[in-house]
Structure 1
Amino acid sequence: MLTSLQNPLVKQIRKLHQTKERREQQLFLLEGTHLLEAALAVDRPLITLCHTIAWQTKYPLLWEHAQQLAERVELVSADVLRAIATTVEPDGVVATIERTSTPAPAFTSFGLVLETVQDPGNLGTMIRTAAAAGADGLLLSADSVDFDHPKVLRASAGQWFQLPMAASFDLQTELSHYQQRGMQIVATLPTANLTYWEVDLRQPTLILMGNEGGGLSPALAAIADQQVTIPLNPGVESLNVAIAAALMLYEAKRQRMRSEE
């Protein structure tokens, strides 16, 4: 059992709390039983599995499955587990997995495109919502928060492993390519004349949303085929971007369901 916080493995895993270290080591953290189950459901290989004896006793079948997919398995003390986790009260298991680059999602129906989203909780919530609404995937500008930030994974509630996702260094060019393939780009802007339910979202559509504070850049907003707004009562400045994304995604889903009736 690993009990020392000075153990080299413990030090290495603790460094993964930082964005810089996740990028340098090309690893990220998987914390908690729920996220581990989600990873194992898609047979995602684990680099290291660290767990307490209490967790192993509580989840023997999950432990057996995780062992089969892990390169290294370590029994650790409760103090070590708390040290390597980013949560205040971890439930007994932390794993590391490899960062992998993924191609842009194969958008054919509808998807979500995000520019310069900074809050990990917002991104994780939008991943969860996009998966729930049946979106094809999510495309994110490279200057946004990392997909593998611990709070992003937790907020995604396990859907992180279900939704195709990729980061792009040139959203404008990629969106132009999708337009050439027949997809409409619908941007959300507070100054738009159309409300979001007035646009036909039954056709292949990419929903484009911007930064929490500044919204969309003028360059991206300008290439949109349609610009829509979410109406707000007087005195309300804006909606949280994750809430706005949920409205847009479920309006697209609603219109598709209506057209199938």
Structure 2
Amino acid sequence: MITSLQNPLVKQMRKLHRPKERLQQHLSLLEGTHLLEEACAVNIPLTTVCCTSDWLEEHTQLWERATQQAGRAEIVSPEVLQAIATTVQPDGVVASVARLMPRSPTFPVTLGVALETIQDPGNVGTLIRTAAAVGVDGLWISADSVDLDHPKVLRATAGQWFRLPMAVSADLKQDVTSFKQLGGQVIATLPFAQTPYWEIDWQQPSLILLGNEGAGLTTELAALADVNVTIPLMAGVESLNVAIAAAVILYEARRQREVGV
């Protein structure tokens, strides 16, 4: 059992809290039982997996499967697990993997989402989880957004990170243009728009543009939209959280596709 915070493995895994270190070490952190289950379900090779003895007693089968996929497996003290986890109250297991690369979307896409400069990892993770639940088949995120392998992004996806086709876009405008050239409609979510989101025909191939939590979409990206939509709000309510806004719109798209307009 590893009990020292000075252990080289502990030091190395703690460094993965920082984006620069994840990039340099080419590793990502998976925290918690559910993420580990999902990673094992899709046969993600694990570099290292660490758990407490209490966690092991309750998850023997998952531990056996994880150790078969891991290069190294260690039992650690609760204090060590607390140190290598980014959560305040980790549930007993943390793993590292070769830096995760999402499954890229492929055209044509029937329902897609493009995210521009989204900074909050919880928002991005929730968006990914919602998009997977609705049946989105392509998500693009600008390179100046939060890292897709940020530990909080991964946790907030509830394991759907591994299932949704996604790409970090070096040129989001070009990706949106490519979608348009294939005949899809591009819908920008803008607070000053006059058209409610439910008046759009979502049964045709559609790409939703969602912008930064504070600034919204840039003028350049919004200009590529075929139509602008808004989510009507009661007086005095300034805006919705971007992940909530995405959920509202995406489920209208799914409703129309299942039952018609």
Task: Please state whether the residue corresponding to 1:4 is helix, strand or coil.
Answer: coil
Deviations along 1:46-65, one digit per CA (max 9) or x if unpaired, are: 01011112211111110111
- 1:181-200 equivalences under 5 Å are 181-200=182-201
Structure 2 residue 221 is the aligned partner of structure 1 residue 220: yes
Structure-2 residue corresponding to 1:22:
22
Structure-2 residue corresponding to 1:74:
74
Structure 2 residue 49 is the aligned partner of structure 1 residue 49: yes
Structure-1 residue corresponding to 2:62:
62
- 1:13-162 equivalences under 5 Å are 13-102=13-102, 104-106=104-106, 107-162=108-163
Structure-2 residue corresponding to 1:231:
232
Deviations along 1:86-119, one digit per CA (max 9) or x if unpaired, are: 1112111100011144464125210111000001
Which whole-Å CA distance do the structure 2 matches of 1:155 and 1:30 have between them? Answer: 12
Aligned residue-pair number? 260
Letter in 1 for 2:5: L
Which whole-Å CA distance do the structure 2 matches of 1:93 and 1:59 have between them? Answer: 10
Which whole-Å CA distance do the structure 2 matches of 1:83 and 1:102 have between them? Answer: 27
Which whole-Å CA distance do the structure 1 matches of 2:27 and 2:163 have between them? Answer: 19
Task: Please state whether the residue corresponding to 2:223 is helix, strand or coil.
Answer: helix
Misfit runs of 4+, over 3 Å: 100-104
Structure-2 residue corresponding to 1:206:
207
Which whole-Å CA distance do the structure 2 matches of 1:139 and 1:248 have between them? Answer: 17
Structure-2 residue corresponding to 1:170:
171
> RMSD value over aligned CA atoms?
1.3
Structure-2 residue corresponding to 1:6:
6
Following TM superposition, by how much is the alpha carbon of 1:221 offset from its aligned partner in structure 2, in angstroms?
A: 0.2
- 1:234-245 equivalences under 5 Å are 234-245=235-246
Contiguous gaps of at least 5 residues in structure 1: none
Contiguous gaps of at least 5 residues in structure 2: none
Task: Please state whether the residue corresponding to 1:208 is helix, strand or coil.
Answer: strand
Task: Please state whether the residue corresponding to 2:167 is helix, strand or coil.
Answer: strand
| TM-score for the superposition, normalised by structure 2 | 0.96
Which whole-Å CA distance do the structure 1 matches of 2:160 and 2:18 have between them? Answer: 23
Structure-1 residue corresponding to 2:252:
251
Following TM superposition, by how much is the alpha carbon of 1:159 offset from its aligned partner in structure 2, in angstroms?
A: 1.2
Contact residue 185 and residue 226 of structure 2 kept, 8 A: yes
Deviations along 1:150-177, one digit per CA (max 9) or x if unpaired, are: 1111111121112111110100011111
Q: In the superposition, relative to structure 1, how do residues 102 and 154 fare at CA in structure 2: closer, same or farther (>3 Å)?
A: closer
Which whole-Å CA distance do the structure 2 matches of 1:245 and 1:167 have between them? Answer: 18
Which whole-Å CA distance do the structure 2 matches of 1:49 and 1:223 have between them? Answer: 45
Which whole-Å CA distance do the structure 1 matches of 2:100 and 2:81 have between them? Answer: 25
Which whole-Å CA distance do the structure 1 matches of 2:45 and 2:250 have between them? Answer: 31
